[in-house]
Amino acid sequence: MNEGIRKGLVIAAFGMLVVSNHVVYAKQASEVRVTEVTTQTVNAQPGSTEATTQTVNAQPGSTEATTQTVNAQPDSTEVMTTETATANQQIAQEKPGTPVVTGEYNRKKVQLTWEVVDKAQIYYIFKKNAEGKFIKIAETDQTCYKDKAVEKGNDYYYKVRAVYQGTDRLIKGNRSKVCKVAVDNIDPNKKMVALTFDDGPGKYTKTIVDCLKENDAKATFFVVGRSVNANPGAVRYAYKAGCEIGSHSYNHSNLANLSAKDVKKEMSDTDKLIKKITGSKATLMRPPYGSIGDITKKNVGKPMILWSIDTLDWKTRDTKKTIDAVMKNVKDGDIVLMHDIHEPTKDAALQIIPKLKKQGYQLVTVSELAKYRGYNLEKGVSYRTMYKKK
Ligand SMILES: [Zn+2]
């Protein structure tokens, strides 16, 4: 028996089977929105021993996408067989378009959407796994996909590719650019505050991150490039814990005194190091000393994040004074300035973090604070607070 048919029968045992081009839709209900029923099917890869089963998002009467989750195949199995250059050229002309994918987290699901692309019959959905590989998780004939396999506090990455059935083979389009969706557990109606740590990474960074993790909290670390160079592990540790990594220049220079070229170099040198760790450049920066000139604004290339609570921790080097500076002044939407290179600050942070949580504050990154307070951060513009807009 043809393997495809055998597998089809396996599915048929659970529900109804409809065969349409290369898509198998198995549903428990009778409502199946597939109009074109043609020949055959072959989802199975040669040599595969696993049944292609699974999923149907659609409930009777539902308007949700009809999707089919397939057993994840590593990317490599998708490579087409050998072809001549001419054939490849022909395929390039025939290829379906490339989807532009956007995604958001809503009601416990990640919802991906894209516009119809040329020639597409179905779309393959890929999701980055723990090893950093994009694995195919589903196919759909819709222009949206809902992923319920997400947990709060994580980021997810997707790609989508359009596919159609050519005369003798599947024609696959290029994969979309990566679509990142952050699944956070922030309640926009509750108080939130952004703790920020400058001048690191240093030997206390990891301890502070551990405390954040224990308290389901996040912070933003504005790192100095040359220190990242010396201690990339601490930055990676913070990033993996969901903290935001911002730029604090490469040399902790007073940017207001630098030429356009030097400002750019301070930023790009630091970005290169951050990108190696996080996969992308820093979204935000904090000017050393809070010092900003006209040349800085024009050339810094990022929103400049200042602060509304200055703990003066670098000056007092006093744990209690640092704690008081925060706890006696904090309010919803504040941005707190501290420095993770000083031991008394580390000791203060270990108390401030649980104290704020106890008072009902959500400890969020600066980008999260901006998002939930509706601030559209612009390059070269400085921000001190992100209070609720009236
Ligand atoms: Zn600094």
Kindly tell me the sign of the dihedral angle through the C-alpha atoms of 29, 115, 52, 167: positive
Decide if pLDDT at 336 tops 70. yes
Q: Which of 146, 165, 183 is the last residue of a domain?
A: 183
Residues 10 and 152 in one domain: no
Same domain assignment for residues 207 and 319: yes
* Final residue in a domain of this structure, among 183, 211, 241: 183
Task: Outline where DSSP puts E strands in the chain.
Answer: 16-20, 23-27, 67-68, 102-106, 109-113, 122-128, 134-140, 144-147, 154-165, 170-175, 179-183, 192-198, 220-223, 244-247, 304-305, 309-310, 335-339, 362-363, 382-383
Give the integer Cα–Cα distance in Å for 56 and 11: 12
Query: For residue 357, is it within any domain?
Result: yes
- 43 and 162, same domain (yes or no): no
- Measured in angstroms, how far is the CA atom of residue 289 from the centroid of ligand 1? 6
Asked if 237 and 286 sit in the same domain, the reply is yes
Query: Which tokens hold the place of 357?
Result: 């949580």
With CA atoms as reference, report the closest residue to 73 among 14, 127, 147, 154. 127
Which pLDDT belongs to residue 55? Answer: 36
Which segment of 19-23, 140-144, 304-308, 379-383 scores lowest on mean pLDDT? Answer: 19-23
pLDDT tens-digit readout, 1-44: 454 445 444 444 444 433 434 433 333 333 333 333 333 333 43
Task: Name 287's Cβ contacts closer than 8 Å, sequence gap at least 6.
Answer: 249, 255, 256, 296, 300, 304, 306, 382
From ligand 1's centre to the CA of 328, what distance in Å? 23
Q: What is the rounded average pLDDT of the residues 85-114?
A: 82
User: What is the b/e burial string over 268-293, where b = at least 16 CB atoms within 10 angstroms of the residue's CB?
Assistant: ebbbebbeebbeebbbbbbbbeeebe
CA 254 to centroid of ligand 1, rounded, Å: 10
Q: Within this chain, do residues 88 and 209 fall inside the same structural domain, yes or no?
A: no
Q: Please tell me the total count of domains within the chain.
A: 3
Candidates 198, 199, 271, 340; catalytic one: 198
Report the half-sphere exposure of 224 (CA within 13 A, side-chain side): 19
Phi then psi for residue 226, to 5 deg, are: -65, -25
Residue 171 bridge partners (DSSP): 164
CA of 273 to the centre of ligand 1 (A): 18
Check: CB of residue 201 under 8 Å from CB of residue 180.
no
* pTM score: 0.65
- 3-state class (DSSP) for residue 226: helix
Give me ligand 1 centre to Cα 288, in Å. 5
Q: Any idea which residue has 């200042």 for tokens?
A: 306
Indicate if 144 and 205 belong to the same structural domain: no
pLDDT over 70 percentage in the chain: 76
Q: Which among 141, 199, 271, 339 is annotated as catalytic? A: 339
**Among 4-13, 152-161, 185-194, which stretch is predicted with the lowest mean pLDDT?**
4-13
Last residue of a domain, one of 183, 200, 218: 183
CATH of the domain at 225: 3.20.20.370
Calculate how far, in angstroms, residue 59's C-alpha sits from the geometric centre of ligand 1. 55
List pLDDT tens digits, range 282-329. 999 999 999 999 999 999 999 999 999 999 999 999 999 999 999 999
Which structural domain, as residue segments, surrounds residue 7? 1-67
Q: Give 199 Cα–ligand 1 centroid separation in angstroms.
A: 5
CA distance 235 to 219: 12
* Ligand 1 centroid distance, CA of 320 (Å): 21
Active site residue 198: yes
Q: Is 184 a catalytic residue?
A: no
The enclosing H or E element of 295 equals helix 294-299
Asked if 86 and 63 sit in the same domain, the reply is no
Other Cβ atoms less than 10 A from the Cβ of 331: the count is: 12
